[in-house]
Amino acid sequence: MIQQPLRVLVTGAAGIIGTVFWKRRHGEFSLRLADLHTEGLAEAPCPSMQLDVSDHAACLAACMDIDVVLHLAGVPHASADFDTQLLQPNIVGTHNIFRAAQAQGVKRVVFASSAQAIEGYPLDMQVHEHMPARPANMYGASKAFGEGVASAFAHQHGMTAIAVRIANVARFAPGQQHSARDIAAFISERDVVQLLARCIAADVPAGYHVVHGVSDNRYKRLSIDATRRLVGYAPQDDGFSLLGL
């Protein structure tokens, strides 16, 4: 019997990570792309829709007949104002997506957390997947809230919820200047796409899991040892090598 591809809703699909994901993986999964701003989805080779994640009814409709939600939607700026920029998409929207996914029988939600959720740890300390969130700004706090929502839905409803602490998605080239933290937190576009695809498809037990999104950097701000074991992540890039260091 031919196995049908997983039906995956990608929120925030017109953003940087969402765009590189569907461009590279649209043939592997049956994707439904959703974003508040759909201009960047006009030429996508899969169905797309406008979605305001602060609208619960819209989230319910978006999650219908879906196997996995890849929740990338949200304001991603460390300096974002809580009341005017973060509250609706990052707090209300994340809760809405998990509520809608659970109501529609979705068994797995992959939530895009951020390395900003752990920026409260000293820079000379490597953060491991089992360590709790420790944000240093309100954007990081909004992602820590999302991790809490993911944990609650996993434990209350038997879902598989994977929080991906995505770090510094960038394109490095020799000669560029970056801080030590940003190099240690680097993740290439192809590595973040691979990681998210593994979180969607890997055989992972029900429950709440945290994985870390950095490349195979010589020194890593976030450890990926448990991430490798859980989802089979095999990063290909090293930020230090790409910069010629």
Write the secondary structure of 46-111 as one string of H (helix), E (strand) and C (coil).
CCEEECCCCCHHHHHHHCCCCCEEEECCCCCCCCCCHHHHHHHHHHHHHHHHHHHHHHCCCCEEEE
C-alpha count within 13 angstroms, C-beta hemisphere, residue 43: 3
Residue 2: what pLDDT?
Answer: 65
Pick the catalytic residue from 139, 208, 219, 233: 139
- What residues form DSSP beta bridges with 169? 187
The CATH superfamily holding the domain 7-242 is: NAD(P)-binding Rossmann-like Domain (3.40.50.720)
First and final C-alpha spacing in the chain: 50
* Angle at the Cα of 9 from the Cα atoms of 234 and 140, rounded to 5 degrees: 65
Eight-class DSSP state of 105: T
Please give the chain's pLDDT, 245 residues, in tens: 667 999 999 999 999 999 999 999 999 999 999 999 999 999 999 999 999 999 999 999 999 999 999 999 999 999 999 999 999 999 999 999 999 999 999 999 999 999 999 999 999 999 999 999 999 999 999 999 999 999 999 999 999 999 999 999 999 999 999 999 999 999 999 999 999 999 999 999 999 999 999 999 999 999 999 999 999 999 999 999 999 99
Classify residue 136 as exposed, middle or buried by CB count within 10 Å of its CB (0-12, 13-18, 19+).
Answer: middle
Which residue in the block uniquely carries the two structure tokens 């959703």?
A: 34
Contact 166, 111 (CB under 8 A): no
For this structure, is 208 an active site residue?
A: no
